[in-house]
Amino acid sequence: ALTYKTILGRGIHYGGLTPASIQIFVGGKLFRAVNCYFNVHVYDTILVATHDLKLETIVVASDFALEEKEIFNASEQFMLDPEPILGKVPVRIIRAGSPVSERLFQNPIVIEVGSPVQIVATFNGVSVRTEGIAMQRGRIGGFIKVKNVASSKILRVKVIDEHTVEVA
C-alpha cells in the first residue's frame, strides 16, 4: 500500500511560496520525505471600486462592483456588500479595481471650523446645554475642540451630529 502525508509547517502564504513536506509511506513505513515549495494563488469574488474614489467624497452603491480578484492577505476582511460604507468617505484615495474593506472608510465631516454648535453636558441624569463655536472640523463619533461662547473656555467634545457635541 502506497500512502502519503503532506505537512504545511507554517500555513499557506497567499501570493508567495508555501513550503510543504511530503512524506511517502510504503506498507506503512516511511520510504522518502521530500520538501517542496508551492506558489499559492487564492481568488475570491469581492467588492472593488469601479473608479478612483477621492478623499471627502461620499460613496454610493454605484461606486462599487463585485469582481473576482486575487487575495494576497489572508487576514484582510474584504467586503461583499457596500451597505456598511454607503454615505461614508474614503480615508485615502482608492484606485479603480482596488478591493475595499470597512477600514478604508470613515464618516464624512459634518462640522466645519467656526460653525455654531450646541454643547451638551450630562451628569447624574441632569443635562445642560450651551452655545459653542467649533474650533476644528469634525466627524460623527470623533472628537474636536469647541469654544464655549458664554465662558470662552476651550473644551474637547465628541461630535453627536452636525449641530450637537457632547462633553467627553
Span 103-160, pLDDT tens digits: 999 999 999 999 999 999 998 889 999 999 999 999 999 999 999 999 999 999 999 9
Instruction: Give me the long-range contacts of 27-33 (CB less than 8 A, separation at least 24).
Output: 27/1, 28/1, 28/3
Which residue in 127, 157, 155 sits closest to 140, CA to CA?
157
Q: How many residues does the chain have?
A: 168
Long-range contacts for 74-83 (Cβ within 8 Å, ≥24 apart)?
74/12, 74/14, 74/42, 76/101, 77/101, 77/102, 78/44, 78/46, 78/47, 79/46, 79/47, 80/45, 80/46, 80/47, 81/47, 82/47
Which residues lie across from 36 on neighbouring strands?
20
pTM above 0.85, yes or no: no
164-167 and 116-123 strand pairing? parallel
List the grid coordinates of 84. 456598511
**Confidence at 76, pLDDT banded by 50, 70, 90:** confident
